[in-house]
Amino acid sequence: MQFGHFDDDAREYVVTTPLTPYPWINYLGSERFFSLLSHLGGGYSFYRDAKMRRLTRYRYNNIPTDEGGRYLFVHDAGDVWTPTWQPVRAELDHFEARHGLGYSTITGERGGLRVATTFLVPLGEDAEVQKVTVTNVSDAPKRVSLFSFVEFALWNAQDDQTNYQRNLSIGEVEVEEATPSGGSAIYHRTEYRERRNHYAVFGVNERAAGFDTDRETFLGGPFASFADAAVPRSGASANSVASGWYPIGSHSVDLELAPGESHELVYVLGYLENDVEHKWADEAHQVVNKEGAHALLARFATPAAFDAAHEALREHWNGLLATYTVSSSDEKLDRMVNVWNQYQCMVTFNMSRSASYFETGIGRGMGFRDSNQDLLGFVHLVPERARERIIDIASTQFPDGSAYHQYQPLTKRGNDDIGSGFNDDPMWLVAGVAGYLKETGDYAILDEPVPFDNAPGTEVPLFEHLTRSFDFVVSHLGPHGLPLIGRADWNDCLNLNAFSTEPGESFQTTENKTGGAAESTFIAAQLVLYGADYVALAERRGLTEVAQAARTAVDGVRVALLEHGWDGRWFLRAYDYYGNPVGTGADDEGKIWIEPQGFAVMAGVGVERGEDGSVLPDSRAVLALDSVGEMLGTPHGLVLQSPAYTTYRVELGEVSTYPPGYKENGGIFCHNNPWVIIAETVLGRGERAFDYYRRITPAYREAISDVHRLEPYVYAQMIAGKEAVRAGEAKNSWLTGTAAWNFVAVSQYLLGVRPDYDALVVDPQIGPDVPEFTVRRVLRGATYEVTVRNSGAEGVRARLEVDGVPVEGNRVPYAPAGATVRITATL
């Protein structure tokens, strides 16, 4: 069952009913100011940091779901309704929500009045701007009143939801009924009189008939709901001024519309800062200096200014998405590769895992592991920002090569609440830097001075940080020669050194076992894969002895993985604190885990080839991936492990706390499915790889949206597994490493066009369902047009012609900037 459809020409997803299975959202903003916006107008806005600079309030786990956002109440001759359906939930004659790239348009129609609101964050602005178009589609004149609404959060989102003994006494606003640009504005200035130098403005571009800034007045008392809001039902603003309690922003605008007539309004919600010396407009320090806000409101004083910002945003995305495009006979493949997967990669770059409808933006910052992986999916779009992100990440590393697991986006400093000890973190820095260098060729970054733990005076070249990362892993090996896991590896819920029996303890930070030998086969495979990149970079710097020593260390871990990490038909997952194997056929539950199977084969471990170069059918890589398909496969994707755990195993940690089939306990983690997809292309099994890709990719799941529940245009982190009560149901959409890894899998391995250090690699493996396609790839200033003619035969590798000339192998040396290279690949 579907609840909307793709509009590929407009690059929009069109939601056609308010009653989707869950709120379907979009993200506005790509620089410093961001908004989460559901198809019903729900969500909130913040500046840079969703915890420390929250502008508006949102209530998670609310009843009804997704109530609280930016609303426009309509009073039409006594009929009160909201074009976003929420919160009044009056029946609409027409509803449509269009989520586009950095903007959304929500349209509601009732009683002959159509109201369409487009929301966006303009490039270069710290504001959400809305254009409202009100049209009388009836055959009679109309007199209507509109009442806008936002509820201000008191900046620190955590404090906002907890410290009521203070917060219910400090709310302050200023009201400006006539701004210099001809509109009206409300200013949220809570705590501005003391330590803060920032404030928010909510303005409309026309002189308002009235205003309200006190929530209780607007709603009609402490027991009223948003749906019952008294001011819109009365038809006139109360001109309330908040003092303490709950500050809001609301303007009323009265309109008279002839039949067929439209009227446009522009609303602005903005964030402003003043220097300490220029905080006040008066000597008594009672009036906020509004110069910045006045300039912002003036920039959007007309609908034409909004339209120009909208067009600039479209052009911005057109430029970004022109870097990698595919044209094929599969429209779902094209729309995911060309638009939605890359768009999600950019959103995930901006947010890491911090602010979604499943993460409040309070408890998590930017992840060290997460951000390095995300970089792999967006580096081709904004390489200059990828460079900055790499420096930010590396600056949180400790001198021994370990790192803070998270850092805060506002301060760019490590998060002490989470700390370090996740032993997969170090090698992700190597992965991120390698991905950046393959894309850009900017080797100067390796000489960039970068501090440890952001401490001035500790700066060393970035390459030294890579060395510390590599050395940390190879110097922390267990008795089997495999890397020690620490608090966890990629799977945060596999906690082999935290034996928790106390409710409320953190499995990740309660590290209460020492002296054990818990080892990770995943980190072993990770070291083999990215250790090769470290070796390559050392050789490029002329560090022959360093490279050789690293190669020897990597080879030792590869041997250990084959000798001690193999269970007969698949790779073990780990050794626990006591030295017992995890992920073994000898166990009744958790026999096989997905992570080491995919990552080991990606790294070439167990890939044994015959004299003709083909993979031997009895090689360990083949056995492992065949076991994955047999034991982990479902119609909705590959589960993380099987069978799921049915009892709590204290020696394994959080993974066994989830009911069978959910999250890490037998759920389908869409983040690691791409590792198997890539691994299958390594073996030349493109048909299997593409089949796995389609099982989890949202556009292919749109027809079962009633089962999937979440947005059919972006990936979810998790889909409930085969042992779950609600198998196939997704959770945790948008902010997930799934976005980057699936784009890497489809663009670089299924479609097979990927950058390397000195050449473009063309090696497609997608099976027979896509017999021909063309990839256009812009890389280092040159354009590569790759046409693939594909038989889909298993194990066949492409033969290349470059500008009509046959070439050996699959590597095409980089062309000069400005050149166009035409490549034909035939399988």
Name the residues annotated as catalytic: 492
Q: Which is nearest to 719 in space by CA: 730, 708, 727? A: 730
Q: Which is nearest to 324 in space by CA: 347, 348, 349, 342? A: 342
In angstroms, how far is CA 629 from the centroid of its own chain?
A: 28
Collect all residues with Cβ–Cβ distance below 8 Å to 463 and sequence separation of at least 6: 446, 447, 537, 541
Mind giving me the DSSP string for 553-613? HHHHHHHHHHHHSB-SSSB--EE-TTS-EES-TTSSSS-EEHHHHHHHHHTTTT--B-TTS
In angstroms, how far is CA 794 from the centroid of its own chain?
A: 34
Which DSSP category does 92 fall into?
Answer: -
Token pair listed for 263: 């009227």
Check residue 61 and give left, alpha or beta (phi > 0: left; psi -120 to 50: alpha): left
Check residue 528 and give left, alpha or beta (phi > 0: left; psi -120 to 50: alpha): alpha
Helix (H, G, I), strand (E, B) or coil at 357: coil
Residue in this structure with the two tokens 């303490």, named with its chain if needed: 244
Helix (H, G, I), strand (E, B) or coil at 771: coil
Check: CB of residue 305 under 8 Å from CB of residue 312. Answer: no
* Interatomic CA distance for residues 131 and 244, integer angstroms: 31
Helix (H, G, I), strand (E, B) or coil at 233: helix
Token pair listed for 218: 């607007």
* Interatomic CA distance for residues 677 and 672, integer angstroms: 9
In angstroms, how far is CA 169 from the centroid of its own chain?
A: 36
Collect all residues with Cβ–Cβ distance below 8 Å to 611 and sequence separation of at least 6: none
> One-letter amino acid identity for 353?
R
Mind giving me the DSSP string for 455-471? -TT--EEHHHHHHHHHH
Collect all residues with Cβ–Cβ distance below 8 Å to 67 and sequence separation of at least 6: 42, 59, 86, 87, 226
Check: CB of residue 252 under 8 Å from CB of residue 210. Answer: yes
